[in-house]
Amino acid sequence: MTSRIVNFSAGPACLPLEVLQEAQEALISLNGTGIGILEHSHRGAAFMAVYEQAISLIREVGSVPDNYHVLFVQGGASLQFAMLPMNFLSEDQTADYLNTGAWSKKAIQEAERFGNVNVAASSEDRNFCYIPKDVRFSENAEYVHFTSNNTIFGTQFAIEPDVPDGATLICDASSDIFSRPIDVSKYGMIYAGGQKNLGPSGLVLVLIRDDLVEHGNPDLPAMLQYRTFASNQSMYNTPPTFGIYLIGRVCHWILQNGGLDGMADRNRMKADQLYDFLDSSSLFQATADVDSRSQMNVTFVTGDPEIDSAFVNEATSLGFDGLKGHRSVGGMRASIYNAFRQDEMDAFVHFLKTFEAAHV
Ligand SMILES: Cc1ncc(COP(=O)(O)O)c(C=O)c1O
């Protein structure tokens, strides 16, 4: 087998090797059918079994209540930025948005095409390095939208924002879905692009409460209404069958590794190890405020762009790939989603120490 290297990519991101090996077999012949997963009809029994299993594993992993639909939608999380207000916001209505980074801003821009947006909180004043506490909700918002983990800026909500009674909470959980326990019943809808903790890019997992589906604008094109997906098992058109298969296998892997409690322990250990080193370092500093730090994307700098660049180059040459920070933050970003392993973190922290010793 071609050997693998340590992948810090923010997304598409590393996946569990066991799942990739299973998928490799399924590409040739799915569960002994003699036909590969990419070749099976989405209407046939073999794929329907894959679909049913994926839905049931997602429900089990996320403890998704019965009054929520589990939908697979295409177009990436970015289409959800538009589909959400298209369905639930009209010209004379207002939605509250928490602006905590580049992805929140894109969600806001799309919502502004359809109705009024109240930016209830923002951390833009300090380049999004913290999760804002001062939140001003509007009186009658149709919904409240937030981004649970800010992939680019390395910040994460420790818990969901405290919204007014009866508010419909909507979350873009693209970069921390299923990384820790979640109480789905607190949300009207949760959506997540697949390419970090679930599997493939392009496919979005949507968990949405029944009444919200019914409430959506019925005049939209069919492919832009949640009810089309809800009433057709996400198969109004040909669904991304391989992605659905892979999400199912990733959820199976999550369950085999302790479920969401197991993921939370694993992620906390890795992130603590890296932040502890950064906090004790005389060369590197983490960029996010301590109480806002992400366990999924750790952003850090040396303060000298030339040393940052030398660090990234040396890391790459040693097989630590994808560490260059996003241009809006600079420095480095280590994306350490569920599938990123503890032994990979041990090796990385060892390298950080060696690099530091050579540069201070
Ligand atoms: C938090 C968050 N939201 C949305 C997106 C956009 O996702 P997509 O590229 O699937 O449209 C990303 C992509 O990385 C993200 O990290």
Q: Does 103 sit in the ligand 1 pocket, CB within 6 Å?
A: yes
Can you tell me which atom of ligand 1 is nearest the CA of 201?
A: 10
Can you tell me which atom of ligand 1 is nearest the CA of 75?
A: 11
The residues facing 263 across adjacent strands are: none
Mean pLDDT over the full length of the chain: 97
Helix/strand/coil (H/E/C) assignment for every residue in the chain: CCCCCEECCCCCCCCCHHHHHHHHHHHHCHHHCCCCCCCCCCCCHHHHHHHHHHHHHHHHHHCCCCCEEEEEECCHHHHHHHHHHHHHCCCCCEEEEEECCHHHHHHHHHHCCCCEEEEEEECHHHCCCCCCCCCCCCCCCCCEEEECEECCCCEECCCCCCCCCCCCEEEECCCCCCCCCCCHHHCCEEEEECCCCCCCCCCEEEEEEHHHHHHCCCCCCHHHCHHHHHHCCCCCCCCCHHHHHHHHHHHHHHHHCCHHHHHHHHHHHHHHHHHHHHHHCCCCEECCCHHHECCCEEEEECCCHHHHHHHHHHHHHCCEECCECCCCCCCEEEECCCCCCHHHHHHHHHHHHHHHHHHC
Residues 36-69: pLDDT tens digits?
Answer: 999 999 999 999 999 999 999 999 999 999 999 9
Q: Give the residue, by CA position, lying nearest to ligand 1 atom 2.
A: 174
Residues 291-340: pLDDT tens digits?
Answer: 999 999 999 999 999 999 999 999 999 999 999 999 999 999 999 999 99
Residues 257-281: pLDDT tens digits?
Answer: 999 999 999 999 999 999 999 999 9
Q: Does 197 sit in the ligand 1 pocket, CB within 6 Å?
A: no
CA distances for 205 relative to 54, 62, 225, 305, angstroms: 11, 12, 15, 38
pTM over 0.85: yes
Q: Does 147 sit in the ligand 1 pocket, CB within 6 Å?
A: yes
Q: Give the residue, by CA position, lying nearest to ligand 1 atom 5.
A: 77
**Domains, the chain, ranges and CATH?**
17-256 (3.40.640.10), 259-359 (3.90.1150.10)
Confidence label for 233 from pLDDT (cuts 50, 70 and 90): very high
Q: Does 76 sit in the ligand 1 pocket, CB within 6 Å?
A: yes
Confidence label for 360 from pLDDT (cuts 50, 70 and 90): confident
Say how many Å lie between the CA of residue 286 and the centre of ligand 1: 22
Residue in 329, 239, 317, 256 with CA at minimum distance from that of residue 51 = 239
Instruction: Name the token pair of 85.
Output: 């207000």
